[in-house]
Amino acid sequence: MAHKFINKIAPGETVNDIYLVRDAVLRSTSRGDPYIAMFVSDRTGQLNGRMWQASEAIYRSLPKPGFVHIQGRSELYQNNLQIVVNSIGIVDAEKVAIEDFLSRTKKDIGQMFSEVKSMLQQIKNQQLKELAGEFLSDEALMRNFCRAPAAIQMHHNYLGGLLEHTHNMLRVATAILPMYPDVQPGLVLAGIFIHDMGKTEELSYETAFSYTDSGQLIGHISKTLLMLHRKAESLAAKGKRIDGPVLDALGHIILSHHRTYEFGSPKLPAAPEAFMVCYIDDLDAKMNQVVSAINNEASDSNWTGWQRPLETRLYRKRLE
Amino acid sequence: MAHKFINKIAPGETVNDIYLVRDAVLRSTSRGDPYIAMFVSDRTGQLNGRMWQASEAIYRSLPKPGFVHIQGRSELYQNNLQIVVNSIGIVDAEKVAIEDFLSRTKKDIGQMFSEVKSMLQQIKNQQLKELAGEFLSDEALMRNFCRAPAAIQMHHNYLGGLLEHTHNMLRVATAILPMYPDVQPGLVLAGIFIHDMGKTEELSYETAFSYTDSGQLIGHISKTLLMLHRKAESLAAKGKRIDGPVLDALGHIILSHHRTYEFGSPKLPAAPEAFMVCYIDDLDAKMNQVVSAINNEASDSNWTGWQRPLETRLYRKRLE
Amino acid sequence: MAHKFINKIAPGETVNDIYLVRDAVLRSTSRGDPYIAMFVSDRTGQLNGRMWQASEAIYRSLPKPGFVHIQGRSELYQNNLQIVVNSIGIVDAEKVAIEDFLSRTKKDIGQMFSEVKSMLQQIKNQQLKELAGEFLSDEALMRNFCRAPAAIQMHHNYLGGLLEHTHNMLRVATAILPMYPDVQPGLVLAGIFIHDMGKTEELSYETAFSYTDSGQLIGHISKTLLMLHRKAESLAAKGKRIDGPVLDALGHIILSHHRTYEFGSPKLPAAPEAFMVCYIDDLDAKMNQVVSAINNEASDSNWTGWQRPLETRLYRKRLE
Amino acid sequence: MAHKFINKIAPGETVNDIYLVRDAVLRSTSRGDPYIAMFVSDRTGQLNGRMWQASEAIYRSLPKPGFVHIQGRSELYQNNLQIVVNSIGIVDAEKVAIEDFLSRTKKDIGQMFSEVKSMLQQIKNQQLKELAGEFLSDEALMRNFCRAPAAIQMHHNYLGGLLEHTHNMLRVATAILPMYPDVQPGLVLAGIFIHDMGKTEELSYETAFSYTDSGQLIGHISKTLLMLHRKAESLAAKGKRIDGPVLDALGHIILSHHRTYEFGSPKLPAAPEAFMVCYIDDLDAKMNQVVSAINNEASDSNWTGWQRPLETRLYRKRLE
Amino acid sequence: MAHKFINKIAPGETVNDIYLVRDAVLRSTSRGDPYIAMFVSDRTGQLNGRMWQASEAIYRSLPKPGFVHIQGRSELYQNNLQIVVNSIGIVDAEKVAIEDFLSRTKKDIGQMFSEVKSMLQQIKNQQLKELAGEFLSDEALMRNFCRAPAAIQMHHNYLGGLLEHTHNMLRVATAILPMYPDVQPGLVLAGIFIHDMGKTEELSYETAFSYTDSGQLIGHISKTLLMLHRKAESLAAKGKRIDGPVLDALGHIILSHHRTYEFGSPKLPAAPEAFMVCYIDDLDAKMNQVVSAINNEASDSNWTGWQRPLETRLYRKRLE
Amino acid sequence: MAHKFINKIAPGETVNDIYLVRDAVLRSTSRGDPYIAMFVSDRTGQLNGRMWQASEAIYRSLPKPGFVHIQGRSELYQNNLQIVVNSIGIVDAEKVAIEDFLSRTKKDIGQMFSEVKSMLQQIKNQQLKELAGEFLSDEALMRNFCRAPAAIQMHHNYLGGLLEHTHNMLRVATAILPMYPDVQPGLVLAGIFIHDMGKTEELSYETAFSYTDSGQLIGHISKTLLMLHRKAESLAAKGKRIDGPVLDALGHIILSHHRTYEFGSPKLPAAPEAFMVCYIDDLDAKMNQVVSAINNEASDSNWTGWQRPLETRLYRKRLE
């Protein structure tokens, strides 16, 4: 049976489906009876949930967060729709249709990753090649790299989004590097491959997209720099020393790839390769964001709704 | 004999060479004697010139501006180097080595223009094709298009710079359009071809790079929009009507291609094609600016001097 | 019978009145039955409308947008008031009390327009006089000029608002030009008359105030410049050539009249006349906006509510 | 004999004229001999002065600042022109042609002041009338009000400038108040008359234009507010109480008349009268600044030099 | 019986308790019957109130604003909770538990004030000492100083907050002045004591926290400066003259203590003491704001909700 | 013999002293003769140097950069003072009075460092204590920590400046932590100790203050984060694991201590300890900058010259 999506639930309906529960808390009513407050969500939205016939045992059994089967009904409370939960039971994550909870890239992850590896073969500089290889041979990291979204909102905000974004950036770089012969191609390619790697740690994408604590405190830019240095140290431990200027040139690309201070870059781009990575990153992110907004617009209007980060509505009419 | 460049003149030297004179004015000394004040320049700089044995006849004979042969000497006056002019004679512009006065692209103008025409063949939409064709068949305009710089400072600031910039943008677009299948390629290509066409009128580039009066009052963005509408009207006069939405979509690309209000765009980009033209424009301009600054740095330092518009020095050391 | 305004409809009321319908779409319920979703509005607001007993025939019959007579009732759905439509019938726009849908200036349009024409008589420069005359003799344009609002929100946002704003600016200019003898009066008067003329094309004001597609893509500033050049060309066709510097001086006033880049001017004011038009425009717009907010405040408070564009509340208490 | 202006002195000239000396300091050469360092100026500029044959007696005799007769010569030192002073003698300020040191309005001060008084007669509100009267009857203050510049740079930066600016603002207000019938005229007129009164204390304009210590620490906006309250208190002492709301409405106009925080207003305008005073102030200041720059441009160019506060050059060509 | 707080009222409940009523207005229903609209609030929030069986007599009897006993019930209207009032009776403010309406500092007001007085003893400069003394001996003012909040939102927004903030700033200054021996301690201490004194007049804190009319028009910074000058004048009246430079130095600290123009300071700090007061003020305000947000967070999350003025969420997890 | 400082050299003097030479280049005159261009400096400034009788051997012998004994003379060339070098000889850095080239803190470095160590004893949390200890036991790093300046310009820009700044910040924190009992003191103290440690690598301070290549590309903020992680790893290697949340909390303080994106922080402060470190850092830096500018002002004026980063002149007059 098809999943009943959160944004399709009307007041007064019976609820009997699997949802993600999070931030569950055990509280007391004014009469002293225990109840559980929680958020109930899927990829279309989130509602308050209340279980009035609750016990500490039920509360302790709940995943924080995780998937549950909820039976109950929907009602309006203080002008907001909420779910009154009658019974709640943990569901094995493996039995869940994860695509009801997290969107996923429409492209083929295996093929994209294989093309990424193939494009990185173009790197000629030995040390850059070895750094890229050290990332590629970290299997746990590569699994996350292929699974993580590129962002929670804005652009490529779905499973595989980080890979899709990195893959497309590498394709663009490969296509335009011949037009800019003064630019060092290996630095650009290695820089693109690594530039957002810290998002695998900044974001959480098991059951829902969110920031990790560490991600919020440190951010993916600094996390990527730390990863780069860890990889250089593990190469050094194998006797393959990476020179300071190589690490610094790559590190500079990572630190400056948001291009301005106001977008969180602690350094402004100061090398041709850093500028090129900035522009390809911004181009690819914006094209994804703009095209998604246009394709996802529900109305028949020639214009999407207001896009706050772009400070405009977007024109949808096609001429060609 | 090699031209004595302005930035090589030391105080107390004899001057005997061709320079560009401009802003000549006839004034009187405190004793009532007439003299001529003027600016004397070539592509390396500009000095004050003073001709003390002047007459109204000499003054009237001077080009404003234009090339002259100057005999005289250099001296320090109030801490500034100036040229004391003993005799001055008009020089036919055709006898002047124009490259001493205006830098020029290092690429082949004929070949670039022919590649531009060839890339524009990719446009499939009939009306866009005809608009591009109407520009291409305006010979006087195309001569200027092939000659104008793309800017006075900043990037591609040399004869042929506008063509070089447009040509490279078209190459980049041709290379990356396949990665963005939702983007309408004809609009991007026509938009790139036309986007800076107004610079042919905004700038003056006969004897020195400067702004025209009209250019300063109106700007190249609005001038390009006016040109586009003039071309549409002349097509209409031939019975080839361009639809409003086509004109508006192209016009929007022109008006928004500086991407933010603060850079003089009266409209923010609101269509995928407008975003793509913005990014390709900015990328190509910045790569030219950054690589030029690095290549023109006189010192052996790993860093260029401070680049005010980029708010940084640039790193010159190569790893590959 | 008085119109039942949208902002007076409570949940559970019977609805039986004329409204503006727009953005109607034919959709299917989960059971596969067709229904029509639409917006139902008048000048006081807008609600969702749903017609459950719908057919493609009814859908096709609907104006997009236009006036309709709706019978149905109001209900709360997912916390929002909506109109459930039982029957819907097209209403001839001429039978509609348009003032229920669009507010209108409280001043006399005929008198204002006649005063505008009279004030423009002060222009002495022949070419400016002819340009103004060319606009004045474009009857279709002048009808729109007398009808258009000056904005959708902010200031003079009612039928006749553009005329009222232009008229008052001309009165202010006429009054203060004698205090600024270095300023060229003809340029100021012609500049004011024309400065917002493109709003007649940027905005739609037949049934509701909105932006046209072309208006959103191009904007009234650039549209006004295009209009100016079209008028100059039609004068030229009659043998009355307008000099470049005249067109550029007027064009510059148009392009710079928002005074800063961030408000969408592609050029900063660079002539005394451009500065004067800026200030008169801003003064008149702000006085209208401030006085309207004060007069429209519903409460008895000494202060209006927060005015976001002004970053303040406004003081309403009078001393004189 | 005509004064030899500072900006006309060339290196190696004999100097024998009256100048303003300031910031004189007694120092020792490396050999231990005393010398006096000072600034030597008139209204056209300022040079370093050095008196090598100095004594503490001479130093003590010098005005700080004040007028002196200097005999000496000009020379270049470390690339800067300086005056080597051989003898120096105090000059009675009354014997100095003050117009060589401070520019002065070209308008008639007496007539402007009398028109100001006459325009203030329009104030009908009794308390506002009395406040204006209390300022007018403060003779020492009115002497300064008629003499002070409106600024050190930027606009109306000459003796009588504050009066000229206030006078013209009152003329503009008188002319346009009829177009804005919802605005309280007495508040606008009194507000304009008082709004910059603190400049009489913020600036020093006896021998040269500069800021007083108190002016730099407190600023004219706050000084004007303090003055207003002192006048209200002296009226109260005569039994003429000014109500709180009257003082606050006027005070608010004073505090908000720079219109934005970034220009030093501690309050944003929040009443129609405050907005009107802002706009008239800014209009009159900018028109003065723009017209002065155009009229003072030395070259024959159609454009002035770059005007940093306006971020543009100004167009000087006239059409009418 | 415990007060039923506004934020605990659900739809459909009986209401029978004391609340603050404000902005009451007498209006007519569409049938012409009179009713009273009002706001009903306590320290937890505010709801619309409607009394349908109203008369002008009841309306006139209502405090504007003030405490009332309300009997009625809650209901949802147009998606908002409102109170339908059946009967309403004025309540003597002295019988009200004011802490249900206004929060209060958790510290001991008497002790803090006594420590403030004691710390001010450190001031050695005689004139600063007398100015501080003149404030301290103004009993009405000191009562307000001990009662006023430091702000309506943001930080120390409770009764006694102004005192608590000032007291803690004085403690910080006392602790760190020894590390900065070039800073004049008396100025810092007197400056801190006085810096926000105008908040006693800017804010209203009898029955609810709000701005006074005068406070909104003038602001606490300028009000504090006026107070300082009034105290100096009353000292002068007793023969104790305060020198201009002393008043200006203190005045400058007051005017610049928000540190930037954008936060409403009309002067930027220009003396070491002004910088120190700025930093201590900002530090103490931010620490209060940050710690309060963390302690008041209702959820168990490691993070608070989004803090708009700080542009971040706050991390709540403790390590020590 | 006292060093002849660069800023005391007049044109035409004999030069015979030790200077720092840098950026030496071997060039050819237009006649083809080799010469050496270089910069000649000490702590008071820098001049161009030219050695006309040069050879490649001399060129190769020069330090790049380093100390040399120069014999020659000063002259004006193209309006700039330069040194014509007759002979040049390398000088052992140990024989140079380094204080002629680099300024130095006036405080006792040994005592400050010992107080730093003592204040760090207050840290109770075991892991923070061990991290601090790991830094303290890195002798090479501590030598640099005691020697590095805190900045090249702005504040504490002298040898020992980093230590002096850190030391004073720790003193301030120790003094005020008791006023903020909700703040975790160990995090604040460890955070202050470490926060600028990366400046030891960002800056070069052997012979002159400058940025290292790596410093310019990466910046001290990111370098400090990398150092922190290296120390954690070396502790881990000794079996002393530092928990992720501890590293992240300290890392967050480092990354956010510039407080805004525009000052290069990639993260905004989001914890009470991060806010406290920001404010103490900014306070201590500004007090040093302000007091230094006041004390270093050469004139007798009540005001320093314009301080561009502070956007004001500073008031120097003392009242106490």
- A114, pLDDT greater than 60: yes
Judged by DSSP in three states, F143 sits in: helix
Cross-chain Cβ contact A268/B312 below 8 Å: yes
Q: How confident is the model at residue E33 (pLDDT cuts 50, 70, 90)?
A: confident
- D273, pLDDT greater than 90: yes
Which residue bears the tokens 């020069």? F62
Tell me the CA distances in angstroms from C282 to C289, D169, D288, F213, one per residue in order.
Answer: 10, 17, 18, 50
pLDDT score, position D92: 87
Rounded to an integer, the average pLDDT of D303-316 is 94
Beta bridge partners of B67: B20
Q: pLDDT for C256-278, tens place per residue?
A: 999 999 999 999 999 999 999 99
Q: pLDDT for F277-292, tens place per residue?
A: 999 999 999 999 999 9
Cross-chain Cβ contact B216/D315 below 8 Å: yes
pLDDT score, position E163: 98
Q: How confident is the model at residue D300 (pLDDT cuts 50, 70, 90)?
A: confident
pTM: 0.90
Cross-chain Cβ contact A245/F213 below 8 Å: yes
Average pLDDT across chain B, whole number: 92
Beta bridge partners of C49: C38, C83
pLDDT score, position E1: 65
10 Å Cβ neighbour count for E311?
Answer: 11
Rounded to an integer, the average pLDDT of C165-180 is 98
Q: What are phi and psi of E242, to 5 degrees?
A: -100, 130
* Set of chain B residues whose Cβ sits within 8 Å of the Cβ of D300: 23, 25
Sign of torsion, CA B144 B149 B151 B156? positive
Cross-chain Cβ contact F219/A266 below 8 Å: yes
- E205, pLDDT greater than 70: yes
Closest of C164, C162, C167, C159 to residue C116, by C-alpha: C167
Rounded to an integer, the average pLDDT of A285-314 is 92
One DSSP character per residue, A40-109 reads EEETTEEEEEEESS--HHHHHHS-SSEEEEEEEEEEEETTEEEEEEEEEEE--GGGS-GGGTS-B-SS-H
pLDDT score, position C78: 56
Question: Nearest residue of D to residue B29 by CA position?
Answer: D8
Count residue pairs from E and F with Cβ separation < 8 A.
Answer: 124
- B30, pLDDT greater than 60: no
Judged by DSSP in three states, D27 sits in: strand
Rounded to an integer, the average pLDDT of E166-184 is 98
pLDDT score, position B207: 82
Break chain F down into helix, strand, coil percent, rounded to 5: 45, 20, 35
Which of B25, B79, B216 minimises the CB distance to D76? B79
Chains D and A touch (3+ CB pairs under 8 A): no
pLDDT score, position E236: 97
Distance from F83 to chain A by nearest Cα, in Å?
Answer: 33
Q: pLDDT for C64-78, tens place per residue?
A: 788 999 999 988 765
Cross-chain Cβ contact D313/B23 below 8 Å: no
Which of F77, F79, F216 minimises the CB distance to B303? F216
Distance from C319 to chain A by nearest Cα, in Å?
Answer: 41
- B32, pLDDT greater than 80: no
Least confident of A50-64, D234-248, E152-166, F236-250: A50-64
Helix (H) or strand (E) holding F17: strand F14-28
pLDDT score, position F7: 82
Question: What subunits make at least 3 CB pairs under 8 angstroms with C?
Answer: A, B, D, E
pLDDT score, position E294: 95
The DSSP output letter for E168 is: H
Rounded to an integer, the average pLDDT of D175-187 is 98
Q: pLDDT for E223-241, tens place per residue?
A: 999 999 999 999 999 999 9
A301 at interface of C, judged by CB pairs closer than 8 A: yes
Q: pLDDT for A164-198, tens place per residue?
A: 999 999 999 999 999 999 999 999 999 999 999 99
pLDDT score, position E268: 97
Q: How far apart are CA E51 and CA E86, in angstroms?
A: 6
pLDDT score, position A30: 57
Cis bond leading into D65, ω under 30°?
yes
Closest of F115, A244, A293 to residue B319, by C-alpha: A244
Judged by DSSP in three states, C85 sits in: strand
Rounded to an integer, the average pLDDT of E190-219 is 95
Helix (H) or strand (E) holding E124: none
Answer for the pair B243, B127: CB distance below 8 angstroms, yes or no: yes
Q: pLDDT for D67-90, tens place per residue?
A: 999 999 988 765 567 899 999 999
Q: pLDDT for B208-222, tens place per residue?
A: 888 999 999 999 999
Q: pLDDT for B241-300, tens place per residue?
A: 999 999 999 999 999 999 999 999 999 999 999 999 999 999 999 999 999 999 988 777
Q: Which of residues 226-285 of C touch E (CB under 8 A)?
A: none
The strand ranges marked E within chain C are: 14-28, 34-42, 45-51, 66-77, 80-90, 203-204, 210-211
Q: What are phi and psi of D150, to 5 degrees?
A: -85, -15
pLDDT score, position D199: 98
Beta strands D14-28 and D66-77 are: antiparallel
Q: How confident is the model at residue B95 (pLDDT cuts 50, 70, 90)?
A: confident
Distance of CA C186 to the CA centre of its chain: 26
pLDDT score, position F53: 87
pLDDT score, position E64: 76
**Token digits for C217?**
């893509």
Q: Which residue has the higher pLDDT, A280 or C297?
A: A280
Tell me the CA distances in angstroms from E210 to E45, E157, E215, one per residue in order.
Answer: 14, 11, 10
Rounded to an integer, the average pLDDT of A82-104 is 89
pLDDT score, position A265: 95
Q: How far apart are CA A218 and CA A229, in angstroms?
A: 16
Rounded to an integer, the average pLDDT of A219-230 is 98
Cis bond leading into C65, ω under 30°?
yes
A29 at interface of E, judged by CB pairs closer than 8 A: no
Chains C and D touch (3+ CB pairs under 8 A): yes
Q: Is this complex's ipTM strictly greater than 0.85?
A: yes
Q: How far apart are CA E115 and CA E163, in angstroms?
A: 11
* Helix spans in chain D (H): 56-61, 109-120, 126-136, 139-147, 161-176, 185-194, 199-202, 213-237, 244-256, 272-296
Which of A11, A301, A315 minimises the CB distance to C217? A315
pLDDT score, position D202: 96
* Set of chain C residues whose Cβ sits within 8 Å of the Cβ of B252: 217-218
pLDDT score, position B54: 87
Distance from C1 to chain B by nearest Cα, in Å?
Answer: 43
- C207, pLDDT greater than 90: no
Least confident of A278-292, D138-152, E197-211, E270-284: E197-211
**Token digits for E222?**
């300028």
Radius of gyration of chain C (CA): 23
Rounded to an integer, the average pLDDT of D286-290 is 97
Answer for the pair C14, C73: CB distance below 8 angstroms, yes or no: yes
Q: pLDDT for E87-105, tens place per residue?
A: 999 998 888 888 888 989 9
Distance from C168 to chain A by nearest Cα, in Å?
Answer: 31
Rounded to an integer, the average pLDDT of F26-31 is 71
pLDDT > 90 in chain B, percent: 72
Cross-chain Cβ contact F303/D216 below 8 Å: yes
Q: What are phi and psi of B196, to 5 degrees?
A: -115, 15
Q: pLDDT for B143-191, tens place per residue?
A: 999 999 999 888 999 999 999 999 999 999 999 999 999 999 999 999 9
Distance of CA E16 to the CA centre of its chain: 29
